[in-house]
Amino acid sequence: MEIQKEDCTYTASYCNENVWWLCDSVKKKFPEEIQYCYSVYISNEQRATPIWKQKASHQQDGQVVWDYHVIFLYQTSASGTLVYDLDTTLTFPCDLKQYYEEAIKDNKSLKPEYHRMFRVIPAAEYLKTFASDRLHMLTPDGRWKAPPPPYAPIKTEG
């Protein structure tokens, strides 16, 4: 399965939707591979989740503290596990081991309030169940925290 970064639908700060579109692209172009694909939410109770090697960073190490971050995993015995993160400065895709070491880092190196939790969702399920009204991207006075994507919010059939 070969996916080029420049062929992906991308809007900065909308990682959950970016991953949904990546899942959709795999389902359409490589339907036999969707069973090996996952959407992974990374967050914690404080909604302060450090991730390194991120394009949005203003720090030398590329660290950003997101409220949550979503990445796409592709796991096969032939290629191992690859991470597709449209917000990273690492390679696209990136080997899971390298991504973990450089972008995630071990919880042991973090203060307890920054320890991450991971929710892994099969891509086919994510396509069926993910929807966003984008309300979490609005400030209390109704302004966008980041410009929204040009397409309509993603909705489920239900």
Active site residue ranges = 15, 69, 85
Question: Quick one: tokens of 141?
Answer: 């006075």
CB atoms within 10 A of CB 42: 19
What are the DSSP calls for 42-58, one per residue? Answer: EE-TTS-EEESSBTT--
Give which of 38, 43, 45, 7 is closest to 25, Cα–Cα: 7
Tokens 């503290």 correspond to what residue?
A: 65
Gap between the Cα atoms of 57 and 85, Å rounded: 14
* Length of the chain counted residue by residue: 158
Name the DSSP letter for residue 138. Answer: B
* Closest to 12 (Cα-Cα) out of 132, 146, 106, 151: 146
